Structure 1
Amino acid sequence: MTSYLTTSSPRFSAAPAMAPRYQDLLHRLTTAARTSIGFPCAVDIDYRPLGPLLGVLLNNLGDPQVDGIQPMHAKDIERDVLDFFAALFRAPAGWSGYVTSGGTEGTHYGLWLGRTRLPNAVAFHSAAAHYSVGKAEHLLGLPSVTVATLTNGEIDYADLHRQAARFRGRPAIVTANIGTTMTEAVDDLHRIHQALDDAGIIHRYVHADAALAGVPLAVTADRPAFDLADGADSISISGHKFFGTPLVCGVVIVRRGIDEPPAAIRYTGAPDTSISGSRTGLGAVMLAHALDVLGPSGLSERTRQARAVAAYTCRCLQQIGWPHWRNRDAFTVMLREPPASVRVRWRLPSSNGWSHIICVPGITTHQIDDFISDLDA
């Protein structure tokens, strides 16, 4: 009888060479990255030093504040990450949160808390909201109203007032876009609350979907009204966008935690306070690594550099006479839709005759020069 019990676990033995199919995948991805300027994924942070952690399980099971029975976790690091983002987004005492599977889960969690606290609420989101917002409202059984947008992609506050007034007797749950998917427009939380006040809405919950723009706006001197100190009840970001983590993840921070936290699950030893239950500990480690690499001043400097590349892109488009525009402080540059061959090569999404370039950290002026050459040709 063959025994599979050995004195040393195969998990920690020397790793074999990567199979050819995965080498081909790596080649395809690294090649595509050179002309991938249409989607938000920063490329300036090296996460390969964390490679040895791929040999172990990191399951941050249940509530991040309780370690639980299962020892293969990184909840201590997750708590440090949450403390950082709670301070960055000016959370009051009593805040809660966790590392999510991405921006979609963060928004779903915020809307879930809103529905829990306001069970008779109507949900409002703008026509420029991320597609996951409507999906989360549907999964939660929330009546959903789509609000018009201004020309720059920002929510139309007058239309929000009109739409909310139709449901004056019911609470409102509003998802604010802090950097829309296409134009990186930012909804003003003060104006959202004013619109709800004018509509006679007394009870409300506002979630800030800040997937890409939340962190760079938080380190901007003349910051807009978008975080927990400005009237958000919850805020979520994506880790794989501004930080470029190779594992899709995110963070959600809530003004106050669940009103009646559940008891610890006997099997796990931790309360089940998240949507996903089992959660990536590696995502928390990657976010912590990014913050360690950048340091206190790094967030501001790479934000400044990315905006400088966006401004450079606008100047280049101006020089060749190509129609374009850009929202204030945005990494995103809107440009009149290029020919199909250019869009395909540079991975540019399009909507209503417009495309965009997203100058996330790591995108260089050399890439922009190559793109402009293609476009001008």
Structure 2
Amino acid sequence: MTADTARDLRPLWTALLGQAAEHARTNIGYPGATDITHQQLADLMTGVLLNNIGSPYDGGHGRNHTKDLEVEVVNIVADLFNAPATRWGYVTGGSTEGTEHALLDARRRFPDAVVYTSASAHYKVGELADKLMMPLVVIGTDEHGRMDIADLYAELARRRDRAAAIVATAGTTITEAVDDIPAIVAACERLSITRRRIHIDAALSGLPLALVPEDETPLVDFSVPGVTSIITSGHKFLSTLTPCGVLIYRDPPNAATTAAVSYTGTANVTIGGSRSGHSTLLLYASLAGLGLDAHRQRVRACRQTAEYACQRLRGIGVDACRHPHGFTVYFPSPPRLPERWIIPGDGRYHRLICMPQVTRDQIDELVEAWSRMVHRVPAPRRSLARRLLSAAPNAQSRTGG
């Protein structure tokens, strides 16, 4: 099939919608909120090119951008993370881009920097270290997926003459563990490692943690003096329906001093050149249009659903666990899982994640399917003698019947 002639693609779009609807009920293993839709943006999303090329802090030669709203999005998220007035940031294509920007900044500041991250960190961290040709040290974790601070201290001590670029995690892939950020800073202080950058990959848990009351929040923001930068996803919790992220620095990175490109009229401060202005629209519509109080209610509802799921699974003998602030329920990888349900794992644990669109009815349906699978009663089997007897020709005559 070629694209030389026009085709009616409406059947394809209908099929894609049907496929998405078919799997929506059983796809509870991956993070991504879909409970907020954005029909009010239809004209802007489908009829206008919006390109936020370059720095969000200058307009450049073009006028078809949403940079003013991008700066507002950065400030809303920066406020949630208790960033100081010196903050700097931009809307990324996803959290991996934010971590790459932070590691590149670390490399430019400290060419001898070593990357430290936990064994539970996102798989892209190692790939980024390789791409940037930075040495990587993988730190062990505890049984729940948190970085082992004693192991970190030992590895830092072995290389205390070199700069450290530490990638901490707020919301690990399988268990949604949150690394102890103050303890990471303290380890650096004890070893007098002043040439350091501490970046938090808060793709999953950053915004939910920031939205809960202060006395309940693990310290994963700029209130911890040593934190340099934080990246969080937009599509995971804010229901932007397209991958994106928001990168926040405590102070402007080296890239912020880059001169403007004559062709674009804007500074080359981001990983990519052209950036989607539509992602900014979706982020702003979710954050400002819905309001933070509504998002706090969504966080509470997700945690309640996660706790409900945890208890229901325990009720059928599954050793389910969750962190107090997590949407994720994880359990030892079982021999089998109920058919149709999309529940990923890493060989040690499997997990489901209670995003805002996940309901208790779905949890009940999963638990019932799991219970039927575990307690399935096999069909009665006839004894071997009776089966042999019935299978033999003229069995009755040969036995004298």
TM-score w.r.t. structure 2 length?
0.87
Match in the other structure for 2:219: 225
Instruction: Tell me, yes or no, if the aligned pair for 1:61 and 1:279 is still in contact at 8 Å.
Output: yes
Match in the other structure for 1:305: 301
Q: How does 1:308-347 map to 2 (within 5 A)?
A: 308-340=304-336, 342=338, 345-347=340-342
Matched, 1:363 2:358: yes
Distance 2:350 2:252 in 1: 40
Select 1:131's aligned residue among 123, 137, 140: 123
Matched, 1:105 2:114: no
Aligned residue for 1:350, secondary structure, equals coil
Select 2:114's aligned residue among 108, 122, 126: 122
Instruction: Tell me, yes or no, if the aligned pair for 1:177 and 1:186 is still in contact at 8 Å.
Output: yes
Instruction: Tell me, yes or no, if the aligned pair for 1:165 and 1:200 is still in contact at 8 Å.
Output: no
Q: Number of residue pairs matched?
A: 361
Match in the other structure for 2:346: 351
Match in the other structure for 2:279: 283
Select 1:256's aligned residue among 224, 247, 251: 251
Match in the other structure for 1:10: none
Distance 1:205 1:244 in 2: 30
Distance 1:339 1:291 in 2: 42
Distance 2:341 2:177 in 1: 22
Q: How does 1:79-94 map to 2 (within 5 A)?
A: 79-94=71-86
Q: Aligned partner of 2:35: which letter?
A: D
Match in the other structure for 1:373: 368
Q: Aligned partner of 1:281: which letter?
A: G
Q: How does 1:126-275 map to 2 (within 5 A)?
A: 126-221=118-213, 222-230=216-224, 231-259=226-254, 261-275=257-271
Measured after TM superposition, the shift of residue 47 of structure 1 is 2.1
Q: Which moved more, 1:169-178 or 1:113-122?
A: 113-122
Per-residue CA deviations over 1:238-267 (Å, capped at 9, x if unaligned) read 111011211111110011113461111111
Measured after TM superposition, the shift of residue 272 of structure 1 is 0.8
Per-residue CA deviations over 1:174-196 (Å, capped at 9, x if unaligned) read 00001101100001111001122
Measured after TM superposition, the shift of residue 172 of structure 1 is 0.5
Q: How does 1:18-57 map to 2 (within 5 A)?
A: 19-53=10-44, 54-57=46-49
Match in the other structure for 2:3: none
Aligned residue for 1:205, secondary structure, equals strand
Match in the other structure for 2:4: none
Distance 2:355 2:201 in 1: 18
Match in the other structure for 2:398: none
Measured after TM superposition, the shift of residue 35 of structure 1 is 0.9
Q: Aligned partner of 2:364: which letter?
A: D
Q: Which has the larger radius of gyration?
A: 2
Distance 1:228 1:110 in 2: 15
Instruction: Tell me, yes or no, if the aligned pair for 1:162 and 1:199 is still in contact at 8 Å.
Output: no
Distance 2:13 2:185 in 1: 50
Distance 2:169 2:109 in 1: 21
Instruction: Tell me, yes or no, if the aligned pair for 1:209 and 1:237 is still in contact at 8 Å.
Output: yes
Measured after TM superposition, the shift of residue 61 of structure 1 is 0.6
Distance 2:88 2:348 in 1: 42
Distance 2:211 2:219 in 1: 13
Per-residue CA deviations over 1:339-372 (Å, capped at 9, x if unaligned) read 5452x52211112342101011111101111111
Q: CA RMSD of the aligned region, Å?
A: 1.5
Q: Aligned partner of 2:257: which letter?
A: P
* Percent identical residues: 41
Measured after TM superposition, the shift of residue 202 of structure 1 is 2.5
Q: Aligned partner of 1:174: which letter?
A: I
Aligned residue for 2:260, secondary structure, equals coil
Instruction: Tell me, yes or no, if the aligned pair for 1:173 and 1:205 is still in contact at 8 Å.
Output: yes
Distance 1:166 1:212 in 2: 32
Aligned residue for 1:324, secondary structure, equals coil
Match in the other structure for 2:375: none
Distance 2:231 2:13 in 1: 33
Per-residue CA deviations over 1:189-234 (Å, capped at 9, x if unaligned) read 1100112223342221000000010011012221111112213100
Structure 2: any 5+ residue segments left out of the alignment?
1-6, 373-401
Measured after TM superposition, the shift of residue 153 of structure 1 is 0.2
Distance 1:288 1:30 in 2: 26
